[in-house]
Amino acid sequence: MPETSYAIETENLTRRFGDYAAVNQLNLQITKGSIYGFLGPNGCGKSTTIRLLTGLLAPTEGSISVLGQPLHGNEEKLKQRIGYMTQKFSLYENLTVAENLRFVSAVYGLTGRRSRQRIDELITLYELKKQQKQLAGSMSGGQKQRLALACATLHSPDLLFLDEPTSAVDPENRREFWERLFDLSDSGTTILVSTHYMDEAERCHQIGILENGIKRADGSPAELMEQLGSSIIEIEGHGLRQLKQTLTALPEVISAAQIGSRLRVLVKQSIVNPVAFLQPMTEGCQLIPARPSLEDVFVASTGGRHVG
């Protein structure tokens, strides 16, 4: 098979459960060595897609290529080159940190001196020296996260899947975790991460916005913000809660959300002059055109269906 620059390629990937399409005609091209993020609300198909791409779930339709090989028929061989960190902590809580690492090492066929060296390396890298003899179940959320990442990368995979890996940790641990991901990416590991945090999605080289199993947008965060198909106006003034109700009832308005003392309004691209359009309803208020954010892209891509 010819060499490809993509770690993952899918064509019309679909998975149905009865009449429900959890993943619907998904086309992906994820560049080797990049961090690709799936951004979307709970139930949008992120976890199902990861299970399909790791071979844990068979597609109803479509094709999957992983690391230059068709996934179908090569699942066992490719598992040696893939790491997977689940959303829920899935290691043995009644084993110590060192015991969990030794167990995972054996699963991947690492033995003897090679296994000991790799485990020592990861214990140092992920700052787990003091916790080596501690039961995994008694660790903090951040410590469990570091142990899970150490186990997922113990066999030095070329491709790493992370399913909402920071949902149970504080902002400081989330930031440190992402620094470790960039170190892995810099060394050549391709990473696919699912998240519903906008700040995490902004860290990715490329993101796909999923809704109801459908990819609504795909590109780098900067590209998606630049190409946003709507206008953003921030409104300063009194009575913002009532104004929000008035504006969200209009078909020309995608969404309106209060941020501090301002109301941030997304107006459809078909409105050529959004300030003039909003002025009759906002007497006494100041209207300020604003730059788009990734949250604006998400809201516009999903039609505002996931905001209150």
What's the pLDDT score for residue 1?
47
Q: Which domain holds residue 75?
A: 6-225
Residues 98, 174: Cα–Cα separation, whole Å: 23
What's the pLDDT score for residue 303?
67
Provide the 8-state DSSP code for 164: S
Same domain, 249 and 273: yes
Q: Is 95 helix (H, G, I), strand (E, B) or coil?
A: coil
Same domain, 45 and 151: yes
CA distances from 207 to 30, 46, 194, 210 (A): 10, 12, 9, 10
Same domain, 210 and 240: no
**Residue 219 in domain:** yes
Same domain, 47 and 186: yes
Same domain, 168 and 265: no
Number of domains comprising the chain: 2
Residue stretches of the chain with pLDDT short of 50? 1, 308
Same domain, 27 and 143: yes
145 in Cβ contact with 163 (< 8 Å): no
Same domain, 265 and 125: no
Neighbours of 88 (CB within 10 A): 9
Burial 274-298 (b: 16+ CB within 10 A, else e): beebbeeebeebebeeeebbbbbbb
**Residue 1 in domain:** no
Same domain, 10 and 23: yes
CATH number, position 34 = 3.40.50.300
**Residue 265 in domain:** yes
**Residue 125 in domain:** yes
CA distances from 193 to 172, 229, 233 (A): 18, 26, 32
Radius of gyration of the chain (CA): 22
What's the pLDDT score for residue 304?
58
**pLDDT tens digits for range 277-305:** 999 999 999 999 999 999 999 988 886 55
Give me 132's structure tokens: 């080596």
Same domain, 221 and 233: no
Q: What angle do CA 191, 178, 161 make, to 5 degrees?
A: 25
165 in Cβ contact with 177 (< 8 Å): yes
Same domain, 150 and 263: no
What's the pLDDT score for residue 16?
97
Same domain, 167 and 272: no
What's the pLDDT score for residue 2?
57
Same domain, 81 and 214: yes
